[in-house]
C-alpha cells in the first residue's frame, strides 16, 4: 500500500500544522505518510492549485488558515471535491472568539513574529552583558546604541533596560586617565549617547556608594574636584564625537531610556 500524501497548508510558514500532523501520525505505530508543506497560501488561486494536486494524488489536506474567507473557501472546495480536509485553526479560533468575546486579528504569522521578538530580546540582553563597561571595544561597531559617561551615570541599568526593548547596547566609561577605545570614533555619532550629570549629584551618589561598600566616603572617587575634572573630560570626548548628550541628573532610568529610544526612532525616520 502506497504511503498517503498529506498536504500541509498554511498562510504562514506551516510549522504548526506540520508538527500537529506529525504528532498525530506518530500515534499510529509503523505508519508513515508523505508530507508536502505549502506555506504562505493567501489567495483562492493557490487553493485551487492545491485542490487539483490533492485530488490527483488521492491525498488529504491539513490546514491552518487564519483569514476567514480563505479558510471558508478551503472548506468548501475540499467538500466539493470529496477530499479529506482537516481545519486545525478554525474551530479553535471560533471557540476563542466566544470565550474572549473579542474578534481575532486574522493576521497570519503572529506566533512566529512573537518568537522572533523574544529571541531578538534575548540576543540584545546577552549583547549588553558582553559589552558592558567597555569590556570589548569590538562590540561598539555592532551596537545599535553606544552609551558613554563617567562612573555612576546609570550606563549599565540603561543598557539592560534598552536591551529589553531589543536594542543592542554597548557602554563605555569615560575616565581621564584612560583614552577611549579607537572604535568609538569609527561609529556613526548618531548611535552615540552621552550621559551627563551635575557634579553635586554625582558626588552624593558616589559617597553613598562608598558608604554602602563600607569604604571611606572621602576617597578620591567621591572628591568633588576630581568629579569636576572627570565631567570636563567627558565634555571633551562628547564634543569630539559630536554626539547627543542627555542630562541624567534628575532623571529615572526609564525616562532617559525613552528619550534615547525617541532619538533612535527619529534617526531611522
Known binding residues are 149-156
Known binding residues for ADP are 149-156
pLDDT tens-place values along the chain, 269 residues long: 679 999 999 998 888 889 999 999 999 987 889 999 999 998 999 999 999 999 999 999 999 999 999 999 999 999 999 999 999 988 988 888 888 888 888 787 776 666 678 888 889 999 999 999 999 999 999 999 999 999 999 999 999 999 999 999 999 999 999 999 999 999 999 999 999 999 999 999 999 999 999 988 888 999 999 999 999 999 999 999 999 999 999 999 999 999 999 999 988 76
Closest listed residue to residue 170, CA positions, set 195, 138, 206: 138
Residue 224 has phi, psi (to 5 degrees) of: -60, -40
**Domains located in the chain, CATH noted:** 5-108 (3.40.50), 111-268 (3.40.50)
The three-class DSSP label of residue 124 is helix
Retrieve residue 76's grid coordinates. 468548501
Residue 226, CA distances (Å) to 16, 212, 218, 220, 233 in order: 61, 20, 11, 7, 11
Q: Say if CB 238 and CB 148 are below 8 A apart.
A: yes
Closest listed residue to residue 229, CA positions, set 189, 202, 209: 202
Amino acid at each position: 500500500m502506497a504511503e498517503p500524501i498529506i498536504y500541509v497548508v498554511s498562510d504562514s510558514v506551516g510549522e504548526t500544522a506540520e508538527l500537529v500532523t506529525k504528532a498525530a501520525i506518530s500515534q499510529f505505530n509503523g505508519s508513515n505518510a508523505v508530507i508536502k508543506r505549502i506555506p504562505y497560501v493567501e489567495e483562492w488561486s493557490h487553493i485551487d492549485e492545491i485542490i487539483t494536486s490533492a485530488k490527483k494524488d488521492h491525498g488529504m489536506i491539513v490546514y491552518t488558515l487564519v483569514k476567514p474567507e480563505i479558510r471558508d473557501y478551503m472548506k468548501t472546495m475540499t467538500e466539493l471535491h470529496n477530499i479529506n480536509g482537516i481545519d486545525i485553526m478554525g474551530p479553535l479560533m471560533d471557540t476563542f472568539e466566544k470565550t474572549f468575546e473579542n474578534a481575532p486579528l486574522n493576521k497570519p504569522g503572529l506566533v512566529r513574529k512573537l518568537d522572533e521578538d523574544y529571541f531578538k530580546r534575548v540576543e540584545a540582553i546577552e549583547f549588553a552583558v558582553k559589552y558592558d563597561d567597555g569590556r570589548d571595544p569590538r562590540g561598539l561597531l555592532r551596537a545599535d546604541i553606544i552609551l558613554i559617561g563617567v562612573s555612576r551615570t546609570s550606563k549599565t541599568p540603561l543598557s539592560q533596560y534598552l536591551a529589553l526593548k531589543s536594542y543592542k547596547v554597548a557602554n563605555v566609561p569615560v575616565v581621564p586617565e584612560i583614552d577611549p577605545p579607537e572604535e568609538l570614533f569609527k561609529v556613526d555619532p548618531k548611535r552615540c549617547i552621552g550621559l551627563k550629570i551635575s557634579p553635586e549629584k554625582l558626588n552624593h551618589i558616589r559617597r553613598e556608594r562608598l558608604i554602602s561598600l563600607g569604604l571611606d566616603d572621602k576617597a578620591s572617587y567621591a572628591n568633588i574636584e576630581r568629579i569636576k575634572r572627570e565631567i570636563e573630560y567627558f565634555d571633551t570626548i562628547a564634543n569630539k564625537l559630536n554626539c547627543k548628550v542627555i542630562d541624567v541628573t534628575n532623571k529615572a532610568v526609564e525616562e532617559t531610556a525613552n528619550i534615547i529610544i525617541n532619538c533612535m526612532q527619529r534617526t531611522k525616520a
